[in-house]
Amino acid sequence: MTDSAPSIESAVEARDIVRTFQVGDNRIEVLKKVSLDVKRGEKLFLVGPSGAGKTSLLYTLAGLERPNEGDVLIDGRSLYRLRRKEQARVRNSSMGYVFQSFFLMPELTAFENVLVPAMIKRTAAKDKAEELLERVGLADRLHHLPNELSGGEQQRVAIARSLINDPKILFADEPTGNLDTKTGIAVMDLLMELINENERTLLVVTHDKSMAELGDRKVTLVDGRIVD
């Protein structure tokens, strides 16, 4: 791992990240000494073939999967050298997440789902939750359960939830993967609009090359390595 000083312009830095999985007697290396520097306010899209390591890299950068080797720096601060409680605090306060499968709590309404990260942070955010749901076009769906919402509406709830704590960095893993083309375009347009309004940093995993053109930069992974 390099000992160079962190860049003051960087939101996220990966330094020689190695991720391995044990399958039976086989050790599979998913990420192979990956280094990446994401500037503050940058919109970066990770692309590449299935199994290239895109999601593993995103999850490692987002503090969700610990690397076997290497380090991740958030605003110049080592994430994986923090105690677990402090890692959780950084994830909750500085990061937002949007996943392909929405991950809404089925027993909670749209409004309640959006509030969950703020409840963890113990902040009063009811007005902000309503404002965000209105912003994503769901002002009339606040009290609907996830099974009463379409896929596109559920992903809009997930986007609102990801922004409730005003994160500096948003991580999105195939955010339109479970949506039809038309709905996916609308959801992605909304996400980009919300990101641009507050100059947040955005990292997106996608298999859609046309979607990747929306970003400031596209990074391609092949066989666990960045190739461009």
What tens digit of pLDDT does each residue of 154-200 get? 999 999 999 999 999 999 999 998 899 999 999 999 999 999 988 89
Mean of the per-residue pLDDT values of the chain = 91
Predicted pLDDT of residue 2? 46
Q: Would you identify the CATH topology of the domain 10-226?
A: Rossmann fold (3.40.50)
Predicted pLDDT of residue 24? 86
Q: Which residue positions in the chain have pLDDT lower than 70?
A: 1-8, 121-123
- C-alpha distances (whole Å) from 103 to each of 9, 97, 123 are 32, 10, 22
b/e 86-96 (16+ beta carbons within 10 angstroms → b): ebeeebeebbb
Predicted pLDDT of residue 208? 87
Do residues 169 and 129 lie in contact, with contact meaning Cβ atoms separated by under 8 Å?
no
Domain layout of the chain by residue ranges: 10-226
Residue 43, helix vs strand vs coil: strand
